[in-house]
Amino acid sequence: MQWTSIVAIYALVWVITAFVSLPFGIKTHEEAGVPKVPGQADSAPANFRPGRLAVRTSVIAAFLTAAYVLNYIYGWIGIQDLNFLGWLFDAAGT
C-alpha cells in the first residue's frame, strides 16, 4: 500500500471519528450552570474545546488506520470472514 493511500485513509477516518466524537463530553449552559448569552440557542455547548477534540480524534484515527493497514498487510479479516449470508460467495470462496 502506498503512503499516499495511507494518508488518504487516515484523513477519512479522522473526519468520521471527529463527527462521531463531537457529542461526547459536551454540556449545555444549563447543565454546566453558566449563564447564556442573549440570543444563544438552548443547545449551544458551554465547554466546547476544539483542540482537545482534535487531539482525541487524531489518536483514535491513528489507531484505527494502523489497524486497517495491518489488516491489509497480514490479511487477518477478509471478505469471506464477513460473509454472514452464505450465498454471496460460492463454495470455492470466490
CB-CB neighbours of 25 under 10 Å? 13
Q: How many domains does the chain have?
A: 1
Q: What is the mean pLDDT of residues 59-67?
A: 98
Structural domain boundaries, residue 37: 3-82
Q: Is residue 19 part of a domain?
A: yes
Euclidean distance between CA atoms 25 and 52, whole angstroms: 11
Euclidean distance between CA atoms 55 and 53, whole angstroms: 6
Q: Is residue 12 part of a domain?
A: yes
Global pTM reads: 0.78
Residue 91 — very low, low, confident or very high, per pLDDT cuts 50/70/90? low
Q: pLDDT tens digits for 11-51?
A: 999 999 999 999 998 898 889 888 888 898 988 898 889 99
Q: Is residue 94 part of a domain?
A: no
